[in-house]
């Protein structure tokens, strides 16, 4: 029922957005796949890193949370006394290849003097903190500097000149206060000036597009000078990402900057998504072990695939959705600072795998 509703919704979006029409047909395929979506950097025909299974690995986790100076409480499940530990012990194993072992010292040497920026919402924060802790575990005595703000934060490994930056912007496009209220501008990215000059950019945006009611951070949407009280969220997301794609086309020099899109991180608030109608992620201590995640791939993936298929500059999709859907056990639940949290991820935990995939994409030829 839910899947058919989503398909009907996007069919309506296609009527209003001719450019999205082709995505409707693609969605029928994507909603019935058993692995990752068909777009993005899967390693060509030799290996799709995003199709595989979770396996037990006694050498995990990759770092000690108590020794990482960059940890945030909202992800620090062990600090808040999560009693079970098995969620720390799973490694992602692609079906057709092996991921390289992460080496933080090698990472720092290869990117000596470089700037790496994560741009997006709290899922970008989750991944940024994870990578920082993974690297720090390899060079625990290295000199570091940590500047944490609401907008732009930075972790620098001073002995190597490597800077890991985080630019917080939930929508990628601009938000501004006007007389009419808080306006989300679907066709404006003035904040993009802050992303210039980076060696690696990792973008992410989705979760805040779905917020309604009291948690909705805007009052109106704007496009081409016209204000809208609301809009189908898939259409709005498509318009916003299309504006981001235009920014990439105009401002990124592929010879100087590598661009990644983090992909859609799933939530686990509806137990029916994995055939447990009465449950959220609360109390979940094991991954979903089936071959096909019952809820299917989120329709937001179709929007991402469509936008990336039309972008002119190379952008690598870290297609994390399917592998993350299986990890209903990996959220903070009540072991953090967000009440029942089935959206963010414990650290150490799943985002470490996202960074292993990033590492493989950066260094595997």
Q: Which residues are catalytic?
A: 122, 341, 344
Q: Distance (Å, rounded) from C-alpha 73 to C-alpha 9? A: 37
List Cα–Cα distances, 225 to 172, 184, 220, 228, 244, in angstroms.
18, 11, 12, 10, 18
Residue 333 has what DSSP assignment? B
Q: Are strands 200-203 and 220-223 parallel, antiparallel or unpaired?
A: unpaired
The upper half-sphere exposure of residue 354, i.e. CA atoms within 13 Å in the direction of its Cβ, equals: 35
Q: At what angle do helices 233-251 and 2-16 cross, to 10 degrees?
A: 60
Instruction: Identify the CA nearest to 200 among candidates 168, 173, 162, 169.
Output: 162
What do you get for the CA distance between the two ends of the chain, in Å? Answer: 43
DSSP per-residue letters across 233-272: HHHHHHHHHHHHHHHHHHH--TTT-EEEE--PPP----GG
Cα→Cα distances 169→162, 207, 351, Å: 22, 12, 19
Q: What secondary structure letter does DSSP report for 207?
A: G
Q: Are 298 and 265 in contact (CB under 8 A)?
A: no
Q: How crowded is residue 14: how many other Cβ atoms within 10 Å of its Cβ?
A: 20
**Helix H or strand E encompassing 177:** strand 174-178
Q: For 87, list phi and psi in degrees, rounded to 5.
A: -60, -20
d(CA 124, CA 175): 18
**SS3 call for 54:** strand
């Amino acid at each position: 029922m839910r899947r058919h509703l989503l398909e009907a919704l996007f069919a309506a979006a296609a009527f209003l957005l001719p450019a999205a029409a082709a995505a409707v047909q693609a969605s029928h395929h994507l909603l019935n796949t058993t692995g990752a979506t068909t777009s993005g950097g899967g390693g060509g025909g030799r290996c799709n890193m995003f199709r595989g299974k979770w396996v037990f690995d006694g050498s995990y986790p990759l770092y000690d949370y108590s020794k990482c100076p960059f940890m945030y409480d909202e992800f620090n499940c062990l600090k808040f006394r999560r009693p079970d530990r098995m969620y720390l012990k799973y490694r992602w194993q692609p079906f057709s290849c092996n991921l390289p072992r992460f080496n933080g010292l090698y990472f720092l040497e290869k990117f000596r003097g470089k700037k790496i920026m994560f741009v997006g919402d709290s899922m970008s924060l989750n991944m940024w903190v994870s990578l920082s802790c993974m690297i720090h575990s390899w060079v625990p005595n290295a000199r570091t500097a940590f500047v944490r703000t609401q907008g732009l934060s930075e972790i620098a490994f001073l002995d190597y000149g490597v800077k890991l930056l985080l630019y917080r912007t939930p929508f990628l496009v601009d938000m501004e206060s006007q007389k009419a209220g808080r306006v989300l501008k679907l066709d404006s990215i003035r904040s993009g000036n802050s992303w210039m000059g980076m060696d690696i950019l990792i973008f992410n945006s989705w979760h805040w597009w779905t917020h309604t009611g009291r948690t909705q951070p805007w009052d109106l949407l704007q496009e081409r000078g016209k204000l809208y009280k609301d809009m189908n969220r898939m259409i709005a997301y498509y318009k916003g990402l299309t504006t981001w794609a235009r920014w990439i086309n105009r401002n990124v020099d592929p010879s100087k900057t590598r661009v990644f899109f983090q992909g859609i991180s799933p939530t686990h608030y509806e137990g029916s998504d994995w055939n447990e109608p009465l449950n959220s992620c609360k109390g979940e201590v094991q991954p979903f072990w089936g071959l096909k995640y019952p809820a299917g791939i989120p329709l937001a993936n179709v929007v991402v695939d469509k936008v990336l298929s039309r972008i002119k500059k190379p952008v690598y999709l870290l297609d994390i959705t399917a592998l993350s859907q299986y990890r209903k056990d990996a959220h903070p639940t009540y072991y953090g600072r967000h009440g029942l949290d089935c959206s963010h991820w414990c650290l150490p935990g799943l985002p470490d795998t996202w960074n292993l995939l990033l590492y493989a994409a950066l260094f595997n030829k």
